[in-house]
Amino acid sequence: MKKKFFTNLIFLISLNLLIKPFWVFGIDRTVQNVVGTADYGLYFSLFNFSIILNIILDFGLTNYNNRNIAQHKQLLTKYFSNIVVLKFILSVLYAIITLFFGLIFGYSWFQFYILFFLILNQFLLSFILYLRSNISGLHLFRTDSLISVLDRFLMILIVSILLWTNITGETIKIEWFVYSQTVAYLITALIAFAVVLPKIKYLKLKFDRALLTIILKQTFPFALLVFFMSFYNRFDSVLLERLVDDGNHQVGVYVQSFRLLDASSQFALLFAVLLLPIFSKMIKKREPINELVNFSYLLILIPGLILVIVSIFFRVEIMNLLYNELFDDSYIIFALLISAFIPISTTYIFGTLLTANGSLKQLNIMAFVGVILNLSLNCILIPIFEAKGAAITSITTQLFTAIAQFFIAKHIFKLKIMYKQIFALIAFIVIFVSSVYLIHLYIGNWNWLIAMFISVFWGLLLGFILKLLNIKTFYQVLKS
């Protein structure tokens, strides 16, 4: 299983390295620079608002389906015929409830117009993720990897034309950015459907009330968990837009830093995408999971620590390179938010393990406390510190939920704490922080890009020296 996880992870990361960095830094960032901080802030707040209520649209079906298809492949035809009908019913309910809350929030006509297309985009994306859960559940990881980047690839093509050609005769508008996503999602959904269709013995859409009732009862804990996690991950910007006078501007300032965290988290998410069906299958077969948990966590933690430490030291240079319009709190917000990558990465390992095990009660209790903590801190800190207050809340909430998930997983699976590795991790952090400080001080003044490259290379080398990254294991996996 280690070989399957690692080789498919390399393939998946390679694809994402080709596509997603250019999307985030070449396209998404450029759109914000062109349309302005406030307009992009309006879009981003509405985008997160549509994601929070996405739970009604998905209802935990994607994670539930991935886990069950991985364990019982023969259920694909039966589940698909019913779940597709259910998803269309849920999509109507999602649209109605989202627009209703938009009325309560007092959104303007233009905000409703953008929200309508974001609702459509969420439906298409949800359908793509459901189709991918079948592909991944069948362990067709490479096909799933290709589809995972297809939507972004199409968006890059469309938005690039709008940004860098004169085809429209005017500068790109934020609504055009949303339309581009709609077209890309639609094409990707059709291609994903074409991949799944041959795997189904027969396709007869039906509404089996008894089966769907059973599925909804079983997916409700998944749905609740997704809602809680979406809330404390995404509600910051919604509250920020509502609680301060220049809300759209503050969200725009916040998203400058959040974009880099979100881009980094997409690579951490790849671990969860691969680990969920693998953990599910191993747990069903009662295979030992300690080795894979340890291997995958160190594989994400060491690069994560390198990313966070280097980003904090080079925060001024990075932000100045990326954005035309920066503000007093931009650098400290970036340092706070990028630090959240470590707890987020921890969640993608231990949270995925608990999800694969079906430990939804414990996860939901943890996530509910996270929601209360997040909402309380946001309501206190945002009116005082604005975007910086939202960043403080985010890192605090992520730390709490990550630590909670680690200890829950340790208790359920009797995971052994590797004290030797903990001491090695402490040594790694101390040595690496000291090294990057000196590199930034003496080489950074000459050429900060070279200094940053040296820092990253030294961090990886140090990981191997301290045996946190095991070169023997890498060699054995690649050789096999």
* Ordered DSSP codes for 302-320: HHHHHHHHHHHHTHHHHHH
pLDDT tens profile 420-452 = 889 999 999 999 999 999 999 999 888 999 999
**Rounded distance between C-alpha atoms, residue 160 and residue 191, angstroms:** 22
How far apart CA 374 and CA 19 sit, in angstroms, is 32
What average pLDDT is seen over the chain? 86
- Give the whole-angstrom CA distance, residue 24 versus residue 20: 6
Q: pLDDT tens digit string along 279-326?
A: 888 888 888 888 888 888 888 999 999 999 999 999 999 999 999 888
More confident residue, 166 or 347: 347
Closest CA to 408 of 461, 446, 352: 352
Instruction: Give the model's pLDDT for residue 26.
Output: 86
For residue 141, give the nearest of 277, 282, 288 by alpha carbon: 277
User: What is the average pLDDT across 32-52?
Assistant: 91
User: Do 32 and 40 meet the contact criterion of CB atoms below 8 Å apart?
Assistant: yes
Distance of CA 121 to the CA centre of its chain: 17
Does residue 2 surpass a pLDDT of 60? no
20-44: average pLDDT: 88
Q: Looking at mean pLDDT, say which of 57-66, 213-222, 426-435 comes out highest.
A: 426-435
CA dihedral 351, 355, 361, 363 (to 10 degrees): 10
Which long-range CB contacts under 8 A does 435-443 form with residues at least 24 apart?
435/462, 436/309, 436/310, 436/313, 437/313, 440/313, 440/314
Closest CA to 121 of 172, 42, 50: 50
Query: Does residue 267 register a pLDDT over 60?
Result: yes
If 0-12 CB within 10 Å is exposed, 13-18 middle and 19+ buried, where does residue 437 land? middle
Beta-carbon contacts of residue 117 (< 8 Å; ≥ 6 apart): 175, 178, 179, 182
Which residue, among 430, 471, 435, 426, has the nearest Cα to 456 in the 3D structure? 435
Q: What is the DSSP track for 349-417?
A: IIIHHHHHHT-HHHHHHHHHHHHHHHHHHHHHHHHHHTHHHHHHHHHHHHHHHHHHHHHHHHHHHTPPP
Q: 477 pLDDT exceeds 50? A: no
Of the candidate ranges 126-135, 173-182, 402-411, 446-455, the one whose mean pLDDT is the lowest: 126-135
Give the pTM.
0.79
Is 6 a residue whose pLDDT tops 90? Answer: no
pLDDT bucket at 8, cuts 50 / 70 / 90: low
Q: Average pLDDT, stretch 342-353?
A: 93
Residues whose CB is less than 8 angstroms from the CB of residue 74 and which lie 6 or more positions away in sequence, other chains included: none
